[in-house]
Amino acid sequence: MGRAPCCDKANVKKGPWSPEEDSKLKEYIEKKGTGGNWIALPQKAGLKRCGKSCRLRWLNYLRPNIKHGEFSDEEDRIICSLFASIGSRWSIIAAQLPGRTDNDIKNYWNTKLKKKLMGMHMAPPSHHHHHHQRNSLKPPPFPSSSHHNYQNQPLIPSQPLSSLFKDLSSTYNRSFSSGFEIPHLSMTSNNFSNATTNSSLFPTQECLVGSMQVNNYPVKKNSNQNNLLMFGSEGSCSTSSDGSCNQISYDRESNIKQEEMVFQSFDQDQNNQRFMMLNYGNNNSGCSTGSAGHDHHHVINQWCERPDGFDHLGTENTLGYCDLEDVKQLISGGNNLNIGVNGSKSNSLFSNVDENKTEEKVMYFY
DNA sequence: AAACGTGGCAACCGCGGCCAC
DNA sequence: CGTGGCCGCGGTTGCCACGTT
């Protein structure tokens, strides 16, 4: 039933590469190139390896100009801001960092960089040795005062991550308004438009503008609050009560991922709306929890009329923010907003849509 | 000092997408 | 337009070194 193997497993070596294999592969490719066919290459080069293994070894290790060792603050910054905007698309991120491979960056993010950002709020989940444990995610403190001004915070931090983290965590702790609510959101697939922005706020960002609906509860009429900026990867706002939040294994305790992937958006000042998204997670399972038969969209802001308690909330990792004027400018102002729905992953976003529900504008970054 | 836990990475593997036929 | 098969992505696993109990 399964897919045919890409090569003859019996006759193929697996595991770490020996220096001899390395030099064989290197010499062959330097002399003859890959010929555009990795499958045939190992045989031609006299290697008992699967073509994919050769490709990986070459791209991640043998290829010229591979950079190893410490990541600089600048690299940290780039990775962080790109992750904030496009999520875990490591190959794209790697393309911005000469000499780094996607694998390298992925590993670095998962083992170190993420912790730099998360450390104070909670220990990131460990998948090691199947010690999946439900992190007891505590909701953040519920401050009664608000109106913290983060006017001058840049979207892409110019400081090292350590200082970014400090700033944002203190902001975070102080900035909830007293009455914020958790709306349940889903998105509709119609009315999305494609374009590209060159805004200085979001240089070369790709974004998607579309409609947002709030399931079951009316959107507040205050139009200042009708914009929601979502940072994150493709599935960031998938509705998951139907299990369509894909790529998550429900039969494992790795469910925890979903609960960690909570977005927060909040704004305090009616006249000076700020939008902030917090996203924690390592793939496209977004803000849903998907586990309890509800419609789980834990996006925190003053969005709809429903006051709701904390439920499944883990709230970590501030990655970006802007204010309403920025949003407006992007939406109007002749900005082109680019990239539509991208493939099947995003399709799950658009389930559970009731066309009769209130729809509002949303920008969805990925 | 042995067993156990953890971090760091390299490598693996399934899948979606793309393209040639 | 199918369809078969390769490519590359990204989530996951395996392994080793080292720290801790």
Domain end among A24, A41, A62: A62
Q: How many Å from the CA of A36 to C1' of C3?
A: 22
Asked whether residue A89's C-beta has any atom of DNA/RNA strand C within 7 A, the reply is yes
Whether residue A310 sits in one domain with residue A191: yes
Average confidence (pLDDT) over A178-203: 26
Least confident of A44-58, A100-114, A132-146, A316-330: A132-146
Is residue A296 included in any domain, yes or no? yes
Residues A313, A205 within the same domain = yes
Domain-embedded: residue A67: no
pLDDT (0 to 100) of residue A7: 65
Asked if residue A154 belongs to a domain, the reply is no
Residue A127 lies in a domain: no
Integer distance in angstroms from CA A205 to C1' C12? 30
> In which band, very low, low, confident or very high, does the pLDDT at A4 lie, cut at 50, 70 and 90?
low
Q: Which of A30, A45, A62 is the last residue of a domain?
A: A62
Structural domains in chain A (count): 2
- Which helix (H) or strand (E) segment holds residue A80: the answer is helix A73-86
Round to a whole number and report the distance in Å from the CA of A303 to the C1' of B10.
45
| pLDDT above 60 (res A297) | no
Provide the CB-side half-sphere exposure for A306 (13 A, CA). 17
A358 CA to C12 C1' in angstroms comes to 40
Cα–chain-centroid distance for residue A9? 35
Query: CA of A57 vs C1' of C7, distance in Å?
Result: 15
Q: In the numeric block, which tokens belong to residue A343?
A: 């493939």
CATH number at A18 reads 1.10.10.60
Is A26 domain-assigned? Answer: yes
**Six-digit token string for A236:** 């960031």
Looking at residue A5, its pLDDT comes to 57
**A332 in Cβ contact with A272 (< 8 Å):** no
CA neighbor of A30 nearest in space, from A48, A10, A17, A45:
A45
- CB neighbourhood size of A137 (10 A): 19
The string of pLDDT tens digits covering residues A132-148 is 222 222 222 212 222 22
Judged against a pLDDT cut of 70, whether residue A206 lies above it is answered with: no
Q: Which residue has the tokens 């070369």?
A: A204
C1' of nucleotide C12: residue with nearest CA: A127
Q: Look at residue A112 and tell me if it is in a domain.
A: no
Domain range enclosing A26: 12-62
Q: pLDDT at position A316, please?
A: 22
A100 inside domain: no
Cα A279 to Cα A18: distance, rounded to the nearest angstrom: 41
Residues (268-297, chain A) with CB within 7 Å of strand C atoms: 282-284
Q: Is residue A349 part of a domain?
A: yes
A2 touches strand C (CB under 7 A): no
- Per-residue pLDDT for A274 more than 70? no
